Structure 1
Amino acid sequence: MAPKSQSSNLSIAPTEVNESSPLLVGRSTDSVPRTPRLPPTRRGTPFGDAKWRDILLNSQSTPGTDSQNIIIRSLSSVWHVFKVTLLSSYVNFLLIAVPFGIIAGENHWESTLVFSINFFAIIPLAAVLSFATEEISMKLGETLGGLLNATFGNAVELIVSIVALRDGQIEVVQASMLGSILSNLLLVMGMCFFFGGLKNMNDTNGHGREQTFASATAQTTCSMMTLSAASLVIPAALSSVLQGTSDDGEQAKAILTLSHYTAIILLALYVMYLVFQLKTHKNLFDGSVDPVTSISDTETAISHNEIEEEEEPILSPYAAIGVLVVTTILVSICADYLVGSIDDLVEQAHISKSFIGLILIPIVGNAAEHVTAVVVAVRDKMDLAMGVAIGSSIQIALLVTPFLVIVGWIMGQPMTLHFEMFQTVAFAFSVLVVTYTVLDGRSNYLEGAMLMGLYIIIAIAFYVSPASL
């Protein structure tokens, strides 16, 4: 067969994935593929003879970066960083919304407009933040890279929540944390199961087949999610017990104290989970075929997975750090305007803060990552897809949420783990359904449809709830 020639057309290349690397807490350095990029064209020729295609669309090199003229070299280097960052994700065309979002907030435009523009502005900023984190992580090695991803994996949600916490929007913070977990567990995993199951539902003989993933990983992660559910149920139960037996001040103090110490315990357990995953038992998270899987399923899995080369960083560490810092500042500015418009939006649109936090805000930080997870599942790489969905959920439940409780403690804001009763029940049932769904290490499109259906039911329930909730 003749080798394929490289196309010069502008087409989107599928993401390269390293199949053998561990699943690192949601956004892994090696295991979770970065969002697709435009394919590189040929290497740049000297600046004077370079084609515009090389200048504008070649993500591997930019003419002039090796020029002897310091001005040309500096300008070319800055353009190269900007170009590579811009081409790192499909959603980056929305970066045009960033300056408009800042202008809208600074000039006090109508609240719905301010919220909407900054909502769309943060989506590509989240993708750029993830891209810069991955670029830095590739230079740090497996362990340090995993720790960096654990720290910045949900940076957008953390920034938005800290801004909301500063403004006293505790209800929005709690709902956004719960919404991020539910969107990963139900919506993202459901879409992975559904579209991956439809694409890969037949084996080579035409018989129905299920996609497989490491059940040992699923069991460990589900245990952690069950623990996080318990950490929300216990404060709710204590609040019910204390009602009628003590005044509101004593009850609030007891719940706050319980939340503070529970948050410390959850953070300690998350550190142990990182050690378990990155050091002592990382073989359980390497994406290999489960030892209990049948021989026929093993052959099918191998036939559906090809050996791919590890992706190399294309930005220097200093350039990636610069992108990370600038993007973090822009996210903070847009998040400030977005959170500041919530109260007026609730009044004008007659929707609850719980719906905004539970459904809308999680989309902001996870849109690009969600697309990546579904693409990976369609390619029959379910361990990687599970790493995005469940790994990110664990990160929110055991790292971000308890960290926000501690931040609220420092700020003097009464951020607790006592969520509204309906939120707690919805979360507990979701964890229960997901646990029973993934424990066998198999998935199909029917299970995906069930998870998506449950998410839609919960979303409708919060949408029809009164705006005062």
Structure 2
Amino acid sequence: MSETCRVDSLNERPVQEIENESPRIPEISAQKSESTTHQKTLRRIVCNSVKIVIFSNRLNLLLPLGPLAIIVERLTNHHGWVFTLSLLGIMPLAERLGYATEQLAFYSGDTVGGLLNATFGNATELIISIYALKRGMTRVVQLSLLGSILSNMLLVLGCAFFGGGIVFNKKEQVFNKGTATVNAGLLLMAVMGLLFPAVLHYTHTEVHFGSSELALSRFSSCIMLVAYAAYLFFQLNSQRSLYLSLNEEEGDHGNSIEDDESPDISKWESVIWLAIMTALISVLSEYLVGAIEGASTSWKMPVSFISVILLPLVGNAAEHASAVMFAMKDKLDISLGVAIGSSTQISMFVIPLCVIIGWIMGHPLDLNFQLFETATLFLTIIVVVLLLQEGTSNYFKGLMLILCYLIVAASFFVHADPSY
């Protein structure tokens, strides 16, 4: 009898354990299937994102030239080829940086979208300038940033006006004059910051020769940074209603035309791609800056022309593409936010920031851009301000700006910079 009870208890125990464990088996299998599904979804998102960002643009055929530039530099040290390959390799990266910014701008309004495009579009110029400062090439920093302002105001804005005017040749495109006027005022303030150190230098009226000019540049840089911060607060917060684009105003009144456009990638994908492209541009910029002087010698071309014309063409690839595209979609406020906003940001933020960074690094950088360069900037701003005062654009205004840029390019090709 006792043996029978013992056998029964032994038989019952496994059954109870099986009954207790049996509900856990579906839970574990469900968790595994969930994890597998999540991995597959994540893999599909990554593959789709890479396909859209990398393989959807023909300009990305130039991407292998970046690694090739590094190989050529390590094996041959031929500066002409290294500069050319780095220049071409950065172009698709800068364009994709603009694409990712454009995708991120879908999740914000036109005003913030233009600011995002200007900010990340200038990341290339800022990275190149920091590497040039590390090498003590302060003149290259000055010339490349000056070239970025000239390129944005004349070439980028001119192509945007021209492209939009060709597509919408039956009507006159309009934009918000309030934003353009304030940007023009900030650009003139930037000219003041650049003009006074140059005048102080050429009139030989410094109180302390060699130090007053630098001290004035650093003080003016701090003031310009404060002014730009106040402008951002004014534009995006306290007086935002004054800077709504015409598209946003029509949308608020219910008169906007339905737009079928939607972002190709998500917000977080855009942020990740922005970080990746910025890191790759940073790597190539070091090789690009290191080969500038060697390329000037091998090409028999002035460093000033390379710095003012060629370098900004690469850095402004993102602005160029996005500004023209938005203008051809009749979103001229974003185009102005990209082109004029980018020039304002370089003159009021990037240049003063580089002066402060050079101060920290021990490589003095002042705001004396020399007489020829400062006069070129001043005349460019005057021309652009006069063309923007009506608040309208057409293809002829765009053509005028493009032709002005060709004159500027020819001038720097025959200009011998005294620093070299």
> Shorter chain as normaliser: what TM range?
0.7 to 0.9
Asked if 2 retains the 8 angstrom alpha-carbon contact of 1:213 and 1:290, the reply is no
Matched, 1:163 2:114: no
User: In 2, distance between residues paired with 1:106 and 1:219?
Assistant: 49
Query: Aligned residue for 2:392?
Result: 442
Distance 1:136 1:455, change over 3 A: closer
- How many residue pairs were aligned? 384
Query: Which one-letter code corresponds to 1:93 in the other structure?
Result: L
Query: Aligned residue for 2:262?
Result: 311
Asked if 2 retains the 8 angstrom alpha-carbon contact of 1:88 and 1:128, the reply is no
| Higher helix proportion (structure 1 or 2) | 2
User: In 2, distance between residues paired with 1:216 and 1:71?
Assistant: 50
User: In 1, distance between residues paired with 2:104 and 2:146?
Assistant: 29
Matched, 1:184 2:146: no
TM-score, length-normalised on structure 1?
Answer: 0.74
After TM superposition, the structure 1 = structure 2 runs for residues 280-359 of structure 1, keeping only pairs within 5 Å, are: 280-288=238-246, 306-309=257-260, 311-312=262-263, 314-315=265-266, 317=268, 319-359=269-309
User: In 1, distance between residues paired with 2:92 and 2:162?
Assistant: 26
Matched, 1:225 2:182: no
Query: Aligned residue for 2:120?
Result: 152
Query: Which one-letter code corresponds to 2:390 in the other structure?
Result: D
Query: Aligned residue for 1:94?
Result: 62
Deviation at 1:201, TM superposition (A): 3.0
Distance 1:436 1:290, change over 3 A: farther
Deviation at 1:85, TM superposition (A): 2.2
Deviation at 1:211, TM superposition (A): 2.4
User: In 1, distance between residues paired with 2:145 and 2:270?
Assistant: 28
Query: Aligned residue for 2:341?
Result: 391
Matched, 1:271 2:239: no
User: In 1, distance between residues paired with 2:415 and 2:356?
Assistant: 30
User: In 2, distance between residues paired with 1:94 and 1:340?
Assistant: 21
Deviation at 1:362, TM superposition (A): 0.6
User: In 2, distance between residues paired with 1:269 and 1:396?
Assistant: 13
Query: Which one-letter code corresponds to 2:189 in the other structure?
Result: L
* Match among 174, 179, 184 for residue 212 of structure 1: 174
Deviation at 1:241, TM superposition (A): 2.5
Report the aligned-residue RMSD: 3.1
User: In 1, distance between residues paired with 2:122 and 2:176?
Assistant: 24
Q: Deviations over 1:151-174 (max 9, x none)?
A: 534111100110011111111111
User: In 2, distance between residues paired with 1:200 and 1:148?
Assistant: 26
Distance 1:167 1:290, change over 3 A: same
SS class of match (2:211): helix
Q: Deviations over 1:412-439 (max 9, x none)?
A: 1111111021000000011011111101
Deviation at 1:286, TM superposition (A): 1.8
Runs of at least 5 residues in structure 1 that lack an aligned partner in the other structure: 1-65, 204-209, 292-297
User: In 2, distance between residues paired with 1:385 and 1:175?
Assistant: 24
Asked if 1 retains the 8 angstrom alpha-carbon contact of 2:224 and 2:352, the reply is yes
Query: Aligned residue for 1:103?
Result: 71
Query: Which one-letter code corresponds to 1:218 in the other structure?
Result: A
Asked if 2 retains the 8 angstrom alpha-carbon contact of 1:216 and 1:290, the reply is no
Matched, 1:130 2:98: yes
Query: Aligned residue for 2:378?
Result: 428
Query: Aligned residue for 1:241?
Result: 203
Deviation at 1:326, TM superposition (A): 3.0
Distance 1:467 1:225, change over 3 A: closer
Asked if 2 retains the 8 angstrom alpha-carbon contact of 1:81 and 1:315, the reply is no
Query: Which one-letter code corresponds to 2:294 in the other structure?
Result: D
Query: Aligned residue for 1:401?
Result: 351
Deviation at 1:135, TM superposition (A): 5.1
User: In 1, distance between residues paired with 2:44 and 2:144?
Assistant: 41
Structure with max Cα Rg: 2
TM-score, length-normalised on structure 2?
Answer: 0.82
Asked if 1 retains the 8 angstrom alpha-carbon contact of 2:110 and 2:245, the reply is no
